[in-house]
């Protein structure tokens, strides 16, 4: 059992009694969650030291800026890898169970989004605000994300999350710009 390697075994090759549908054992799953959570906290800490810290719409500006590379580069790249690694059509991939998937890209996507949500806890550790609704939102998201390791067909979640990420990045881009630039950017994105 390798607790660090994200690719591990293929789901149908997991012969232990405590295998999740994603092909990991529970200890491997917990180790991966802890590792990715730690990496996201380190990322948040580094961003808090390198990027502007002034308040922007209720949270530090570095938090907003640190989201963009993840939303615009990491999520699309890993989502594309998920689809490309599947031996079949995109529509088939959406409903494919874990044992029909390459599994590694899907695991990485789910862990990436888990870590992306976890990085906001770094704000709390760095004395930024986190009200009750913020906590409720994050806890709900973690439950939804992590349940896909235990259930089948993660593709539909990955596709839905990717579409949401594009909209969130677009809103974030609009928030940073002046009114004139927003109109122009909006026009360019719709073309």
CA atoms within 13 A on the CB side of 101: 29
Instruction: Identify whether 179 is part of a domain.
Output: yes
In a domain, 7, yes or no: no
d(CA 159, CA 156): 5
Residue 13 or residue 63, greater confidence: 63
Q: Is 55 helix (H, G, I), strand (E, B) or coil?
A: strand
Residue 3, in any domain of the structure? no
- Domain assignment present for residue 5? The answer is no
pLDDT on residue 12? 73
pTM of the model: 0.78
Mean pLDDT value of segment 23-31: 86
Helices 75-85 and 104-125 cross at an angle (nearest 10°) of 160
User: Picking from 99-108, 165-174, 180-189, which range would have the lowest pLDDT averaged per residue?
Assistant: 180-189
Averaged over 19-44, what is the pLDDT? 89
Q: How far apart are CA 151 and CA 20, in angstroms?
A: 8
pLDDT digits (tens, 9 = 90+) for 93-148: 988 998 888 888 999 999 999 999 888 887 777 776 667 787 888 888 888 888 88
In a domain, 1, yes or no: no
Question: With contact defined as beta carbons under 8 Å apart, do 161 and 75 qualify?
Answer: yes
Q: What are phi and psi of 189, to 5 degrees?
A: -70, -30
Report yes or no on 157 lying in a domain: yes
Q: What are the residues facing 55 on neighbouring strands?
A: 60
Distances (CA, A) of 43 to 35, 39, 48, 61, 119: 12, 6, 9, 15, 8
Residue 125 within a domain: yes
Q: Please name the residue that has the structure tokens 């390697």.
A: 5
Per-residue pLDDT tens for 49-72? Answer: 999 988 887 778 888 899 899 989
- Residue 74 pLDDT: 94
* Residues of the domain holding 97: 19-190
Q: How many domains does the chain have?
A: 1
Please give the angle made by the CA atoms of 185, 188 and 191, to the nearest 5 degrees: 150
Residue 14 within a domain: no
Q: Which of 6-15, 17-26, 104-113 has the highest mean pLDDT?
A: 104-113
pLDDT, position 9: 66
């Amino acid at each position: 059992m390798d607790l660090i390697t994200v690719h591990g075994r293929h789901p149908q090759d997991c012969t232990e009694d405590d295998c999740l549908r994603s092909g990991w054992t529970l200890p491997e799953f917990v180790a991966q969650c802890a590792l990715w959570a730690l990496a996201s906290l380190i990322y948040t800490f580094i961003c808090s030291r390198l990027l502007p810290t002034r308040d922007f719409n209720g949270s530090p500006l570095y938090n907003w800026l640190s989201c963009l590379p993840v939303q615009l580069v990491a999520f699309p790249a890993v989502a594309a890898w998920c689809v490309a690694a599947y031996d079949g059509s995109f529509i088939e991939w959406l409903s494919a169970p874990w044992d029909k998937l390459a599994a590694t890209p899907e695991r990485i996507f789910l862990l990436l989004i888990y870590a992306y949500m976890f990085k906001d806890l770094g704000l709390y550790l760095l004395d930024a605000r986190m009200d009750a609704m913020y906590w409720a939102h994050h806890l709900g998201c973690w439950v939804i994300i992590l349940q896909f390791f235990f259930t089948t067909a993660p593709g539909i979640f990955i596709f839905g999350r990717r579409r949401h990420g594009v909209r969130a990045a677009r809103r974030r881009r609009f928030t940073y710009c002046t009114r004139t630039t927003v109109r122009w950017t909006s026009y360019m994105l719709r073309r």
